[in-house]
């Protein structure tokens, strides 16, 4: 019996060891290689010390076993950035991702080279050609894109390399203008032209000439602020293998039309842009032979009359010469704040992608929040957290100090603490400045409460993050109820797959059109939140940077327009604009209505125009709404311009005698807006067949609330390519229903067949007498 018992014990021990062996095999099979990314270098580091640090991190997830830690280690990164690769289980990877100093942990997947990240988000893939299935965009090497921008260009950036590019197109008549730190050899087969404009600035600033000299930086096309290089590379930059911002958002990157040619017209300086210089740039660009002009700039809202706006005037001339002008709508965020309102340009709002940059905020009770940030600074331990109002100094009230204004914080009260600061302005610079104020007062971290722009990532000077009002209230509630509240803010990390996406950015200016309400603005929306692109090393010694604004969304549409021009070189500017607008979508990636930050409300045409751009559909829109210079002259006549005023903009003998436009709504625009509907009103539109020669389209209407909409005819039968067909849209008040946005109601008209869907937003406001309301 005793012998038999010992045998059974031995068998059990052997089986136990066998099962343990199997479990180790299973564990080893479940382990995969992960990359542990730990941000940029903090100076010269000893590779041996770095390796030891990496082993210690791995030992922490291997129960302290250094031998297993060393066996799991694959590679250490010690040159351009810090981090390591190791074989880890999913659980171990999750543990490491929560450790201090770790920005992100991601699996070592087999990948194609890809962009960071907006072009992939919109469906365009490829390193250089940006091919769209069924079409060749190789002709983009013959498309010249002009950029009238604030800062010029940094020609040495890899985004502007001319490797493997053919000779400059023979039609090009521009020049490479020499200047400070810039000469003719700075241009190449990619950057084929560069000019700068100083006369208007110099004339206005001559009384402060000495100061101007000190602030201009480069009197040449060279980029002194980064903005110009950023927008240009977003639209047409070459493929760059490893583009990143201090390690964040690392990956390959390229513009929308990476093989197109670039011409730069630097018109703006530190104090702003003058109309004289802008118009000179337009004039040169038209003469030089550009096909498309991109303007990431505009007037303040409310925009003045078309005759008093250089961009409206210049873009009109560009359109009459067959040049499409793409412009940003502005960053004021309020209803009616849209700018660049002329119907002969395409105006772009800003939206998100599915990538965010966030920092973890951990409170002393274990509660974890996330906030938007680009700060890679780290807190080594938790610190006391207070409302900035508690650190008021001197003559400042607690309320004033809560906004972390300059000199408003008491150093004794703020030293060594995390401060919760408030923010109400829509200025990214002032947010950055608040972190400087907190740092100078001795603070070790900042939580910035900003409901309006909580999704805009800022490169703060200390550990810091932006949160919305709700999160801010929860954090302050913890501070107020806790005897010794503490908090810790972790470095920023890249988050892919954030939802919902896209969302309209809170800062993006919105309609209605304050100048001509019959013309819907913005026209479309595109990625403009936290966009990575080329930069000027003159600013922060960075090659690449992350920026937000409609300045960033504008060049996305410029890139798309360039691809259309490459495939359809004979199309007019309005046809290209129509293709972009009528193929846009009002649904996010989960097929739900696009929402608007920061309210989270359902968006409408005043937020995004026709919708979020869809470059996969623009080359084959089926139908286009075309317009020509004479149509814009009729438009001007319809809003009251006489012969004399018309001559100021056309400089020809155009008159209003034979115009058929009774209202601006009659312009053959891809959207339809009726801002003052009395009982009923009809609008005529003409579509041109650019799809299959023989095709039939059926009208599908989503009527605005309280409005009956009929389309005559409701079927369009085309027999050949290029055929034009007119139709009318009749609006009739059905009921005194409450509209959704300052009296406006929203719907859509879509011409559909099995292949195409050509959609136009319908925007209607019932006249007060028909709503039973007093205005």
Among 551, 531, 546, CA closest to 328: 551
Phi, psi of 774 (to 5 degrees): -100, 130
**Three-class DSSP category at 266:** strand
Residue bearing tokens 């343990």: 20
Cβ atoms of residues 117 and 530 within 8 Å:
no
623 forms beta bridges with: 689
**Exposure string for 130-167, b = 16+ CB within 10 A, e = fewer:** bebeeeebeebbbbbbbbbbbbbbbbebbbbbbeebee
- Taken as a whole, the chain contains a residue count of 775
**Cis peptide bond N-terminal to 500, omega within 30:** yes
Cβ atoms of residues 535 and 385 within 8 Å:
no
Q: Longest Cα pair distance anywhere in the chain, in angstroms? A: 120
Active-site choice (55, 117, 227, 556): 227
- 182: its two tokens: 């810039």
Question: How far, in Å, are 201, 279, 285, 299, 316 from residue 309 at the CA level?
Answer: 16, 10, 18, 8, 11
Close Cβ partners of 352 (under 8 Å, ≥ 6 residues apart): 455, 498, 501, 502, 503, 505, 527, 529, 530, 597
> Mapped to the 3 state alphabet, what secondary structure does 735-750 carry?
CCCCCCECCEEEEEEE
Q: How far apart are CA 318 and CA 573, in angstroms?
A: 9
Q: What single-letter DSSP state applies at residue 227?
A: H
Question: How far, in Å, are 366, 377, 469 from residue 449 at the CA level?
Answer: 20, 19, 6
Number of H helices, E strands in the chain: 19, 36
**Three-class DSSP category at 456:** coil
Residue 551 is among the residues annotated as catalytic for this protein: yes
Q: What single-letter DSSP state applies at residue 311?
A: H
> Where are any strands of DSSP class E within 236-302?
240-245, 248-253, 261-266, 268-269, 272-273, 292-295
Angle at the Cα of 610 from the Cα atoms of 673 and 561, rounded to 5 degrees: 120
Among 303, 32, 262, CA closest to 149: 262
- With 0-12 CB in 10 A as exposed, 13-18 as middle and 19+ as buried, what is 717? exposed
Active-site choice (229, 337, 551, 572): 551
The packing angle between helices 573-582 and 550-567, to 10°, is 110
Q: Write down the H helix ranges in 309-421.
A: 310-320, 398-401, 411-414
Active-site choice (76, 149, 597, 634): 149
Catalytic residues: 149, 227, 551
């Amino acid at each position: 019996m005793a012998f038999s018992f010992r045998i059974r014990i031995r068998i059990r021990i052997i089986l136990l060891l066998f099962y343990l062996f199997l479990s180790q095999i299973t564990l080893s099979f479940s382990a995969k290689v992960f990359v542990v990314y730990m941000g940029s270098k903090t100076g010269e580091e000893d590779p041996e010390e770095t390796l030891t640090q990496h082993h210690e991190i791995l030992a922490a997830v291997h129960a302290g076993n250094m031998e297993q830690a060393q066996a799991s280690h694959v590679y250490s990164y010690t040159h351009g950035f810090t981090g390591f690769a190791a074989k880890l289980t999913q659980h171990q990877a999750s543990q490491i991702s929560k450790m201090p100093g770790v920005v992100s942990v991601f699996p070592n997947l087999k990948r194609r080279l890809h962009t960071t990240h907006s072009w992939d988000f919109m469906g365009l893939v490829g390193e250089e050609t940006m091919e769209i299935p069924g079409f060749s965009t190789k002709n983009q090497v013959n498309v010249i894109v002009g950029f009238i921008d604030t800062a010029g260009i940094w020609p040495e950036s890899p985004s502007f390399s001319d490797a493997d590019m053919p000779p400059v197109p023979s039609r090009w008549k521009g020049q490479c203008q020499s200047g400070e730190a810039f000469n003719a050899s700075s241009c190449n087969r990619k950057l084929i032209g560069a000019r700068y404009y100083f006369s208007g600035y110099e004339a206005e600033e001559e009384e402060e000439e000495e100061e101007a000299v000190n602030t201009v930086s480069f009197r040449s096309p060279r980029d002194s602020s980064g903005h110009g290089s950023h927008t240009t590379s977003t639209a047409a930059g070459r493929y760059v293998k490893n583009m990143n911002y201090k390690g964040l958002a690392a990956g390959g990157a390229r513009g929308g039309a990476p093989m197109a040619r670039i011409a730069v017209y630097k018109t703006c300086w530190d104090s702003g842009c003058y109309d004289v210089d802008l118009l000179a740039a337009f004039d040169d660009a038209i003469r030089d032979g550009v096909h498309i002009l991109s303007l990431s700039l505009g007037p303040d809202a409310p925009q003045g009359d078309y005759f008093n706006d250089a961009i409206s005037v210049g873009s009109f001339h560009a359109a009459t010469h067959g040049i499409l002008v793409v412009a940003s709508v502005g960053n004021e965020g309020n209803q009616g704040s849209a700018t660049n309102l002329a119907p002969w340009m395409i105006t772009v709002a800003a939206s998100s992608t599915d990538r965010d940059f966030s920092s973890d905020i951990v409170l002393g009770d274990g509660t974890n929040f996330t906030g938007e940030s680009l700060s890679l600074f780290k807190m080594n331990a938790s610190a006391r957290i207070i409302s900035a109002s508690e650190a008021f100094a001197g003559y400042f009230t607690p309320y004033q100090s809560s906004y972390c204004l300059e000199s408003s914080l008491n150093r004794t009260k703020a030293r060594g603490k995390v401060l919760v600061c408030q923010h109400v302005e829509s200025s990214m610079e002032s947010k950055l400045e608040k972190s400087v104020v907190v740092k100078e007062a001795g603070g070790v971290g900042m939580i910035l409460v900003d409901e309006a722009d909580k999704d805009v990532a800022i490169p703060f000077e200390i550990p810091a993050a932006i949160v919305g009002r709700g999160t801010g209230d929860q954090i302050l509630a913890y501070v107020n109820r806790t005897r010794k509240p503490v908090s810790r803010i972790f470095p920023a990390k890249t988050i892919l797959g954030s939802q919902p996406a896209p969302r309209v950015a809170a800062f993006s200016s919105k309609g209605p059109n304050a100048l001509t309400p019959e013309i819907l603005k913005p026209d479309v929306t595109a990625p403009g939140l936290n966009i990575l692109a080329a930069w000027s090393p003159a600013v922060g010694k960075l090659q690449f940077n992350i920026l937000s604004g409609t300045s960033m969304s504008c060049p996305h549409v410029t890139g798309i327009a360039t691809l259309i021009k490459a495939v359809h070189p004979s199309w007019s500017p309005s046809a290209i604009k129509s293709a972009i607008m009528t193929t846009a979508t009002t649904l996010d990636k989960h097929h739900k209505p696009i929402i608007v930050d920061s309210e989270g409300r359902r968006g409408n045409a005043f937020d995004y125009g026709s919708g979020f751009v869809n470059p996969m559909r623009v080359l084959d829109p089926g139908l286009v709404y075309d317009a020509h210079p004479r149509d814009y002259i009729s438009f001007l006549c319809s809003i009251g311009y006489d012969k004399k005023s018309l001559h100021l903009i056309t400089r020809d003998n155009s008159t209003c005698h034979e115009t058929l436009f009774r209202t601006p709504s009659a312009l053959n625009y891809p959207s339809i807006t009726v801002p003052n509907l009395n009982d009923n009103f009809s609008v005529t539109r003409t579509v041109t067949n650019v799809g299959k020669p023989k095709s039939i389209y059926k009208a599908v209407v989503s009527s605005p609330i309280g409005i009956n909409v009929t389309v005559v005819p409701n079927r369009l039968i085309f027999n050949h390519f290029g055929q034009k067909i007119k139709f009318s849209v009749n609006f009739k008040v059905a009921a005194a229903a409450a509209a959704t946005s300052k009296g406006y109601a929203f719907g859509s008209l879509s011409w559909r067949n099995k292949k195409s869907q050509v959609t136009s937003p319908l925007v209607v406001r019932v006249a007060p007498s028909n709503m039973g309301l007093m205005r």
